[in-house]
Amino acid sequence: MSEHLRRAEATFLQQYSDWLQMVQESMVQVTGFYREGFEDNGDRLLDSTTRESSLFSSQTVTMAYLFGQEEEWRQDLEAFEQATEEVRSLIKAETMSSEEKMRYVASVYMPVLERWKLRVTALARK
């Protein structure tokens, strides 16, 4: 691999890791909004934050190259994508209370996000 390609890969991984950190911080704010009863604000922040995840789909060449080579990495990426789609669907369905949304984001989505973020951050530091 050329030095230029190595630098580009490292830059991408660092920026992606930073984006995942921003998503994680936003989810903390989302759960706070839900806890405080500001459901609309929580819904909007969740939607705007998770909507961008489609840019990093496992179907893109970059993501397939970086994370598709090892089965465990690919599975973790797909788990993150699935969790993101599920949380977006549940919020849009408008069938959950603020408390239920808060619990779902905190206990289901955030652990998957954290696991994926740790993997990406570790790879970015190599």
For the chain, the average pLDDT equals 92
Residue 29 pLDDT > 90, yes or no?
yes
Neighbours of 77 (CB within 10 A): 21
Show Cβ contacts of residue 102 under 8 Å, excluding neighbours closer than 6 positions: 31, 34, 35, 42
How many secondary structure helices (H) and strands (E) does the chain include?
6, 0
Sign of CA dihedral 110, 16, 55, 75: negative
Residue 68 pLDDT > 90, yes or no?
no
Q: Domains in the chain, start-ordered, CATH in brackets?
A: 3-125 (1.20.120)
Q: Which residues of 23-61 are buried (b: 16+ CB within 10 A; e: fewer)?
A: beeebeebbebbeeeebeebbebbeebbeebeebeeeee
Residue 14 pLDDT > 90, yes or no?
yes
